[in-house]
Amino acid sequence: MRVDQIFAEARTAGTQPVSFEMFPPKGELTLERAREVAGGFAPLAPDFVSVTYSAGGSGNSAATAQIAQMINSEFNISSVAHLTCISLTRETLAEKIIELMDAGIENVLALRGDLPAGMSEAEAEDIAFPYAKDLVPALVDAGFCVGGAAYPEGHLTCDDLPTSVKHLRQKQDAGASFFVTQLFFDNEYFYRFRELADAAGITVPITAGIMPFTSKQQITRMVFTCAASLPAPVIKILARYEDDPASLREAGIEYACRQLEDLAAHGAEGLHVYTMNRADVASAAMQALRR
């Protein structure tokens, strides 16, 4: 099913779609292992599962299409294939569109991706698709339901939050019909962002992305790669369980569950869980939301 239809039906029913992310890190998630992960997700009945290129936004895109197809065809779960544009030419985009269509993919999350090694921001302006908004129209014209990324604390390369919201509006105007946010650890950032998006005329659904943290190494990496702020409660958890990895993991998942509950209570249009391919993490999130 198309994601815009999922949100429309949820709006009519007064519910909030809950979705998961699966990632093939550097293309190393085999189809068989992905099938095991999807099998763990299936009993939880997520509204859709998104499949990334890789943890850094590049990698084996063929695996992305194959995994998204498998999730849809074998588990009857709607899937969203990520597609990064920074390295695409018009010819390779046409090939990707055919690949996705042949796999029966209906939904694509259009992303910029990391700049290739040695390429500057100035040089990126001269490529075929320098930004995600430039990729959206071609995907919409091909018949896909297209989503985009949203950044509650602003994009890593953009210090001005209103400018990030302006860029979000440009993606909507280009044809994006839903957004998924970058992870965040303080819901107030999302609520502030939602107000700015409303004021900017963003009318398509914005689903809030939450990543349960399970180790100090993981959260440190996320802070630097995603520019997510650490609120005092998270810092206290890290300090309290610095020498107790099992308790830190439990506390991190619990913290994320409280975030999800609060977002649901405050009317977030959708909830997206960065599962790290862990069914137990996804299950904890679902249990929290079904209390």
Of 9, 21, 74, 125, which one is the catalytic site residue?
21
Closest-CA residue to 228 (of 154, 144, 141, 143):
154
Annotated active-site residue 95? The verdict is: no
**Helices marked H in 125-210 — which ranges?**
132-141, 161-174, 187-199
- CA 267 – CA 241 distance, rounded (Å): 32
Q: Which two tokens stand for residue 139?
A: 């995907």
List the end-to-end C-alpha distance of the chain, in Å, as a whole number.
27
Q: Which two tokens stand for residue 240?
A: 């309290």
CA 288 to chain centre: 20
Coil, strand or helix: which one is 283?
helix
Taking CA 247 as the corner, what is the angle to CA 243 and CA 251, rounded to the nearest 5 degrees? 120
- CB crowding 243-263: b at 16 or more within 10 Å, else e: eeeeebbebbbebbbebbeeb
Q: Which two tokens stand for residue 110?
A: 């259009």
- CB crowding 32-58: b at 16 or more within 10 Å, else e: eebeebbebbbebebbbbbbbbbeebb
Active-site annotation, residues: 21
